[in-house]
Amino acid sequence: MTTIARFVPKSKLPEVGTTIFTVMSALAAEKKAVNLGQGFPDFACDPALPATVAAAMAADFNQYPPMTGMPQLREQIARKILDVYGHDYDANSEITVTAGATQGILTILLASVHAGDEVIVIEPAYDSYVPSIRLAGGIPVFVSMELDENGYSIPWDKVKAAISSKTRLIMLNSPHNPTGSVLNADDIAALTDIVRDTNVLIASDEVYEHMVYDGQRHESLSRYPELAARSYIISSFGKTYHVTGWKIGYVAAPAALMAEFRKVHQYNVFSVNTPMQVGLAQYMGNPAPYLELSAFYQKKRDLFRAGLANSSLRLLPCAGTYFQSVDYSAVSDMPELDFARWLTTEIGVAAIPVSAFYQQSKESGIVRFCFAKQDATLQNALQRLQKL
């Protein structure tokens, strides 16, 4: 008898299972809970956006686009970055359209990291970072954010101590998922000092770039020439335009870095949906949707925070993203995953345990909610959470 198991390949990611987002969304559906777990809107995008895509399809933009992305979309991206952050990327040689930010991140790591290279990961971290590093043959080196009454912050002294002769790249994320923290001027100064006189690259995940609140500005690394010279900047149309299922993003980087990126990109995806690129290029001609996004989401953040103000959940600061973290220690001493399951099953609201964003589960008594929802959805969730 043939033993089928012997034909199963040795896993390259033996510790990876089903993501926490899939698990909690399935539980939310089973229990008919309000799903504030996985980070996607439950409202429609601007009808003008899919209309531009339909028009592109009707105009027969239905064949392969250039590997690097449709020229008109790359030009709009370059114009936006110049207008908002003051950095003049060359649309032809320094911007590539990707199949979402996740594909961009994997491609950066495959292009930049060699076997045995170290990559600094600041935890809690988005769950694709570490598997992508390992697929590239790299070694993740972890630095944990610190938490106090002012929220989460990066301990730059520990980042500096983690730099070694093997360090190839630092993974950064701001605005930060899951903590809602954002880099400020002091962070930029510390980071600049650390990488100066090194060959360390930076992958800057900025998919929530247009969700920064209370009058702060997004400190894109593209604003700073010394950092931009060694950085890949990652962003997402899905996050900005409420179309997460479209899976379209982009990476911007200096020409020498982008040349290596494209060598990998052409073989792991080659190109990205043509009519959506054409539609996005037309839609981006009006900057209002992304310039007004922070105000749009700040209202939702404030609605959600006001609704929890008198609950037993302690609100952590939320300076950016569409995620709100809360400390539930006054409610329960359960581990975070158990609490998230209890919250979904008994209270009827799904959340994500922040411990899931660490490689070695770190219990802090904190879960994360997504407030990228209709006001009615948020009010429904708040009525249930106010029972706590």
- Torsion angles phi and psi, residue 203, rounded to 5: -105, 110
What is the percent of the chain where pLDDT is above 70?
98
This prediction's pTM: 0.96
Q: How confident is the model over 340-379, as pLDDT tens digits? A: 999 999 999 999 999 999 998 799 999 999 999 999 999 9
The per-residue pLDDT for 4 is 58
Q: Inform me whether the pLDDT recorded for 9 exceeds 90.
A: no
Q: Inform me whether the pLDDT recorded for 1 exceeds 60.
A: no
The per-residue pLDDT for 374 is 98
DSSP letter for 327, please. Answer: E
Calculate mean pLDDT across residues 125-147. 97
Greater pLDDT, 6 or 210: 210
Domains annotated for the chain, with CATH where assigned, are: 17-39+291-385 (3.90.1150.10), 48-286 (3.40.640.10)
> Helix crossing, 255-268 with 100-112: angle to 10°?
110
- Torsion angles phi and psi, residue 258, rounded to 5: -65, -35
Binning pLDDT at 50, 70 and 90, where does residue 8 land?
confident
- Whole-number Cα distances in Å, 375 to 41, 48, 155, 307: 11, 22, 36, 11
Matching residue, tokens 């990876």:
16
> Would you call 144 exposed, middle or buried from its count of C-beta atoms within 10 A (0-12, 13-18, 19+)?
middle
Contact indicator for 252, 203 with CB cutoff of 8 Å: no
Contact indicator for 315, 388 with CB cutoff of 8 Å: no
- CA–CA separation, 86 and 88 (whole Å): 7
Q: How confident is the model over 225-272, as pLDDT tens digits? A: 999 999 999 999 999 999 999 999 999 999 999 999 999 999 999 999
Q: Inform me whether the pLDDT recorded for 6 exceeds 70.
A: no
